Amino acid sequence: MRSMLLVLAVLAAGAHADEGTPCDNVETTQQAFECSAYNKTTSEHELDNSYKDMVERISAQNTNHPAQLADYLGKIKNAQEIWKKLRDADCAVQTFANEKGSQAFQVAENDCIAQMSDERSEYLQSIGIE
């Protein structure tokens, strides 16, 4: 399990190598943990930005239909809240084999949240594009 986590951390390091991140030169378990925490934080920040950008895009495209816009934005907000619950539930399944509270658990949870948040960001970026 540890070797798999280190491999994931090394792969993540390659994705962020140009920026100088905690994912550079990951060699220890502590560095893998720091890298996973960084990736989670970065992915969640990107997810928030993607959501805000999507809302702005949709709002700009529907200025002449305020009732329809309000309904659409309500559905989007509801979908995002449900997706976050699904993400958390899926990550709980993925991390079940790890001892809760352990560093291995935290790395696995961080990696899961980061991966799913990245995928969701890409999806949100595709909504409302004409």
| Global pTM value | 0.79
Confidence of residue 11 (pLDDT cuts 50, 70, 90): low
What integer is the mean pLDDT of 65-94?
96
Please give the pLDDT value at position 8: 46
81, two tokens = 């809240």
- Residue 56's CB: how many other CB atoms inside 10 A? 11
DSSP conformation letters of 83-123: HHHHHHHHHHHHTTTSPTTSHHHHHHHHHHHHHHHHHHHHH
73 pLDDT higher than 90: yes
At residue 18 the predicted structure's pLDDT band, cuts being 50, 70 and 90, is low
Least trusted range by pLDDT, from 3-7, 38-42, 78-82: 3-7
Query: Which of the two residues, 7 and 57, has the higher pLDDT score?
Result: 57
**Average pLDDT in the 74-103 region?**
95
Domains of the chain, earliest start first: 2-126 (1.20.1270.180)
Asked whether the predicted pLDDT for residue 7 surpasses 90, the reply is no
pLDDT at residue 35 above 50? Answer: yes
| CA-CA-CA-CA torsion sign (86, 90, 91, 93) | positive
| 24, 17 contact by CB (below 8 A) | yes
- Dihedral (C-alpha) 84, 97, 119, 68: value to the nearest 10 degrees? -20
Cα separations (Å) of 53 from 46, 47, 118, 125? 10, 10, 15, 8
Alpha carbons 45 and 18: distance in angstroms, whole number: 19
Examine the pLDDT at 106 and tell me if it is beyond 50.
yes
Over 60: is that where the pLDDT of 74 sits?
yes
Which pLDDT does position 4 carry in this prediction?
Answer: 40
> How far is residue 124 CA from its own chain's centroid?
12
